[in-house]
Structure 1
Amino acid sequence: MNNNSTCIQPSVISTTALPIIYIFLCIVGLFGNSLAQWVFLTKIGKKTSTHIYLSNLVTANLLVCTAMPFMGIYFLKGFYWKYQSVQCRLVNFLGTLSMHVSMFVSLLILSWIAISRYATLMKKESMQEATSCYERMFYGHLLKRFRQPNFARTMCIYIWGVVLVVIIPVTLYYSVVEATEEGESQCYNRQMELGASPSQIAGLIGTTFIGFSFLVVVTSYYSLVSHLRRVRTCTSITEKDLTYRSVKRHLLIIQVLLVVCFLPYSIFKPIFYVLHQREGDCQQLNYLIEAKNILTCLASARSSTDPIIFLLLDKTFKKTLYELLAKS
Structure 2
Amino acid sequence: MRNSTCLLQPSLGTTVALPVIYSFLFPAGSFGNILTAWIFSRQAPTKRTQYIYLTNLVTANLLICSTMPFLAAYFAKGYQWNYDSVACRIANHLGTLIMHVSMYVTIIILCSTALSQYATLKKNSDALYSQAVNETFYRCVLEKFRQPKFAKYLCIVIWLTVLCITITAITYSVQERAMEEFNKCYNTRVEVGEFTTMIAASFATACFFVSFMTVLLSYYSLTRHLSKIQKNTCIGEKHLIYSIVKRNILVIQIILTVCFLPYHIFKPVFYVLLSDNDCPKLNYLVEIKNFFTCLAAAKSSLDPVITFLLDKTFKKSLYGLFTKSTPEHHKRKPDIFIEETSEMGRNKERF
Whether the 8 Å contact between 1:5 and 1:186 is mirrored in structure 2 is no
Q: Is 1:207 the counterpart of 2:196 in the alignment?
A: no
- Give the 5 Å matches for 1:102-121: 102-121=102-121
Partners of 2:241 and 2:269 lie apart in 1 by: 41
Residue identity opposite 1:307 in structure 2: P
Partners of 2:137 and 2:314 lie apart in 1 by: 30
Q: Is 1:321 the counterpart of 2:312 in the alignment?
A: no
Q: Is 1:222 the counterpart of 2:215 in the alignment?
A: no
SS in 2 for 1:21: helix
Question: Deviation at 1:99?
Answer: 0.5
Greater mean deviation of Cα atoms: 91-100 or 80-89 = 80-89
Q: Is 1:185 the counterpart of 2:183 in the alignment?
A: yes
How many matched pairs?
A: 324
Cα 1:138–1:130 change in 2 (3 A) is closer
Q: Is 1:292 the counterpart of 2:289 in the alignment?
A: yes
Question: More helix per residue: 1 or 2?
Answer: 1
Partners of 1:306 and 1:39 lie apart in 2 by: 14
Residue identity opposite 2:214 in structure 1: V
1:299-321: CA deviation from partner (whole Å, max 9, x where unpaired): 00001111122235555544433
Cα 1:160–1:91 change in 2 (3 A) is same
1:165-219: CA deviation from partner (whole Å, max 9, x where unpaired): 2222222222x21331324211101111111111112111111111111111101
Whether the 8 Å contact between 2:57 and 2:106 is mirrored in structure 1 is yes
TM-score after normalising by structure 2: 0.85
Whether the 8 Å contact between 2:30 and 2:62 is mirrored in structure 1 is yes
Cα RMSD (Å):
2.5
Question: Deviation at 1:140?
Answer: 5.7
1:166 is aligned to: 165
Partners of 2:254 and 2:131 lie apart in 1 by: 32
Whether the 8 Å contact between 1:5 and 1:184 is mirrored in structure 2 is no
Whether the 8 Å contact between 2:6 and 2:279 is mirrored in structure 1 is no
Whether the 8 Å contact between 1:178 and 1:195 is mirrored in structure 2 is no
Identity fraction in percent? 50
1:257 is aligned to: 255
Residue segments in structure 1 that go unaligned for 5+ positions in a row: none
1:125 is aligned to: 125
Partners of 1:50 and 1:312 lie apart in 2 by: 18
Whether the 8 Å contact between 1:115 and 1:220 is mirrored in structure 2 is yes
Question: Deviation at 1:145?
Answer: 3.0
Cα 1:284–1:220 change in 2 (3 A) is same
Residue segments in structure 2 that go unaligned for 5+ positions in a row: 326-351
Question: Deviation at 1:147?
Answer: 2.0
Whether the 8 Å contact between 1:123 and 1:144 is mirrored in structure 2 is no
Partners of 1:21 and 1:131 lie apart in 2 by: 48
1:36 is aligned to: 36
- Give the 5 Å matches for 1:12-91: 12-45=12-45, 48-91=48-91
Cα 1:135–1:191 change in 2 (3 A) is closer
Greater mean deviation of Cα atoms: 149-158 or 65-74 = 149-158
Partners of 2:129 and 2:4 lie apart in 1 by: 67
Partners of 2:300 and 2:129 lie apart in 1 by: 42
Residue identity opposite 2:210 in structure 1: F
Greater mean deviation of Cα atoms: 136-145 or 48-57 = 136-145
Question: Deviation at 1:280?
Answer: 2.7
Whether the 8 Å contact between 2:25 and 2:298 is mirrored in structure 1 is yes
Partners of 1:283 and 1:30 lie apart in 2 by: 36
Greater mean deviation of Cα atoms: 232-241 or 288-297 = 232-241
